[in-house]
Structure 1
Amino acid sequence: MMSSFNDIISSNQPVLVDFHADWCGPCKMLAPILKQVKEELKDALKIVKIDVDKNQVLASKYQVRGVPTMILFKNGKQLWRQSGVLQKNDIINVIKQHL
């Protein structure tokens, strides 16, 4: 998992990683918002969902303490991170700064 994850975030296309959990209410609220973000930005952005319960090594590597936590990567570097639910336009504005 770790090596393929590193391959994914090393892309020069921005990658938004959504650390979530099945039992998390706010994560369920964020899911349709991220879908709208993807529909708007199309191929300019890749979105990857990581279940923290199934990927605890990855979650601890990035010090994800609460879910949902979104981290934006480009070329393997962490550019931005935010815990909690954000609105579509707020997420898009952050991503557009890094396109």
Structure 2
Amino acid sequence: MSFNTSLRVFTSKSATLSSARIPTAIRAFHTTQRRAVIFQDASKQVFENAIANKEKVVIADFYADWCGPCRLISPTLKKLTEDPNKSGTGKPFDLVLVDTDSGDGQQLAQQYEVRALPTVIAFRDGTPISKFVGALDQQSIKKFLESL
């Protein structure tokens, strides 16, 4: 068999194979936006790991159970940080709740100079970028989050 004959046989076989119908399944990919992770009563180690996240803006809510305004603001923060489009930079949020009555919470409050409750500090790449102290209404909290 010559080279030309071999090539012709190979070409005709591959043409037959390529023209055969091969069932294909179409696979749909759905992407969802990343949702906020809520770290309840975060320890110092969890807190430091969370604020080091470079893909998200991390909101730290310093609170105490006995603090009335804290009980009002925490559910609002949980609700608003669930929407990944609230950040001005387009980065999604994580929420870290720090109980200032716990041992680690007291240390973190001292480290970040929390003088009144509630105090909310926003972190980007491990660095505090903005904060507010005291209870704000939902619209003001929304504006705060959009400014980040």
Q: TM-score scaled by structure 1?
A: 0.86
Query: CA–CA distance in 1 between the matches of 2:116 and 2:63?
Result: 9
After superposition, the C-alpha distances for 1:31-67 in whole angstroms (9 at most, x for unaligned) are 2211221233378111110000102111100011111
Answer yes or no: is 1:20 the counterpart of 2:63. Answer: yes
Are 1:93 and 2:143 counterparts?
A: yes
Q: Gaps (5+ residues) in structure 2?
A: 1-42, 86-90
Q: How is 1:1-99 mapped onto 2 (pairs within 5 angstroms)?
A: 1-12=43-54, 13-41=56-84, 44-54=92-102, 55-98=105-148
Q: After alignment, is 14-23 or 81-90 more displaced?
A: 81-90
Conserved? CA contact 1:66–1:83, under 8 Å: yes
TM-score, normalised by the number of residues in structure 2: 0.60
Aligned residues: 98
The CA deviation at 1:11 is 1.1
Matched residues in 1 for 2:116 and 2:108: separation?
13
Does the 8 Å contact 1:16/1:45 carry over to 2? yes
Q: Which has the higher strand share?
A: 1
Unaligned runs of 5+ in 1: none
Higher mean alpha-carbon deviation, 86-95 vs 43-52, is at: 86-95
8 Å Cα contact 1:17/1:72 also seen in 2 = yes
Letter in 2 for 1:57: Q
